[in-house]
Amino acid sequence: MIGQRRHFQVAHRPRNDDESILPLINIVFLLLIFFMVAGQLSAVDPFEVEPVESAVDGQPGPDEFMVIVGTEGRLAVNQDETDLEGMARLVAEHLQRHGDAARVRVKADGRAEAVEVVGILERLREAGVERIDLLTVPET
């Protein structure tokens, strides 16, 4: 037994073409799932807004308090359309939760009337907001 060669026969199955494509199908499905999940990460504004251009670049965080000012007096707070009274109520709640660290970001449409935007900024100041960021788009 020692030193003797043994010959084992290995049973070979006929090669199936479907087996070679299974890893490719798995990868395609994983990529599909990845892009479906990644596509849900960015929030969409409730109406079209074209921000003002700026030379400074800054990105808002996902949990920031955001006021969106559109054309024709449209207003939204944190992706929900509202009016000035609703904005004042939500800002007051935000100030109670965050106190002195409260920060409000304003994203105004570049086509909106400057008087409207300034009026909303003044309402935010009157409500007690000390830190207001006006979001813009970097110049190209």
Q: How far apart are CA 120 and CA 126, in angstroms?
A: 10
Which tokens hold the place of 125?
């100041």
pTM over 0.85: no
Strand order in the sheet with 65-69: 52-54, 131-138, 103-108, 65-69, 75-77, 80-82
Q: What is the pLDDT along the chain (140 residues), one digit of tens a residue?
A: 566 777 777 666 666 666 778 888 899 999 988 888 777 655 667 777 776 665 555 554 545 788 988 888 889 988 889 898 888 898 888 888 888 778 889 988 888 888 888 888 998 888 888 888 888 766 55
* CATH of region 52-138, choose from 3.40.47.10, 2.40.30.10, 3.30.420.270, 3.30.420.40: 3.30.420.270
pLDDT on residue 98: 82
pLDDT on residue 34: 86
pLDDT on residue 63: 54
pLDDT on residue 102: 81
pLDDT on residue 55: 53
Task: For residue 128, give the DSSP letter.
Answer: T
Q: Delimit the domains of the chain by residue range.
A: 52-138
